[in-house]
Amino acid sequence: MKGRILTVAALIAASAFCFAAADGSWLKKVPQADRERVNPFAGQPGAAAAGENLFRNNCAKCHGAEAQGKGSRPSLRSERLAAATDGEIAWIIKNGQMYKSMPSWGGLPEPQRWQIVTYLRSLNPPVRPEERVAAQEAPK
């Protein structure tokens, strides 16, 4: 009986952990220096096109061909991404969230990661700074 209660408690804790994965808490972990990094390809349509190809080859299998999300894997067309800086998006691609099923893509060359950021930015145009703060604080 005691073992069963412990198992249920562990399952509830694991579920809570998984739900926490989708709350955008990773944004708080991004170091300031990474947050402020500037995308060398920002606004370049060619880089967005290259990023789209890279996205289809590397990311679409989990996030969907149109970045619309797939099953429990989140959509990458969201207010949260629109509010995030290019540096924050680059950080999550590089580091992933190991314990929340997002692998690290640090093995992908840095220019390719920035091209993916450019593509994601084209899907999520940046909001104004005050809107950005509100979007980050809003519950999803």
Partner 1 sequence: MYERLRNCMAFRHRRAAALVVLCLFAAFQAKAQQEPPYFVTYSSVMEEPGNLEIENQNLTAAPKEAQTFFAPTVEFEYGATAWWTTEVYVQGQATQSDSSVFTGFRWENRFRPLPRDYWINPVIYIEYEDVNGADKSYLEITGNSSAADLAIPNAVLRQYIVRSFEGKLILSSNVRGWNFSENFITEKELNHPMPWEFGYAVAASRPLSLRGSERACTFCRQNFSAGAELFGGLGTRYGFGLSHTEQYAAPTLAFNTPGGFTYRFSPEFGLNDNSATVLWRFGMSYEVSQFRDWFRRSR
Interface residue list for partner 1 (CB under 8 A):
46, 49-51, 53-54, 56-58, 60-62, 70-71, 94-112, 115
* Distance from C-alpha of 73 to C-alpha of 101, rounded to nearest angstrom: 9
Q: Which helix (H) or strand (E) holds 79?
A: helix 79-83
Q: CB of 58: closest distance to partner 1 in angstroms?
A: 6
Residue 61 or 140 with smaller CB distance to partner 1: 61
Residue 3 vs 71, nearer CB to partner 1: 71
- Report how far residue 109's alpha carbon sits from residue 87's, in angstroms, rounded to the nearest whole number: 16
Whole-number Å distance between alpha carbons of 17 and 13: 6
Q: How far is the CB of 49 from partner 1 (least distance, A)?
A: 4
Q: Per the structure block, which two tokens stand in for 35?
A: 């947050």
Nearer to partner 1, 43 or 131 (CB): 43
| Comparison of 108 and 127: residue with beta carbon closer to partner 1 | 108
Provide, rounded to whole angstroms, the least separation between the CB of residue 36 and partner 1. 18
CA distance readout (Å), 90 to 6, 8, 32:
39, 38, 13
Backbone dihedral angles phi then psi of residue 52, each to the nearest 5 degrees: -65, -40
Q: How far is the CB of 37 from partner 1 (least distance, A)?
A: 15
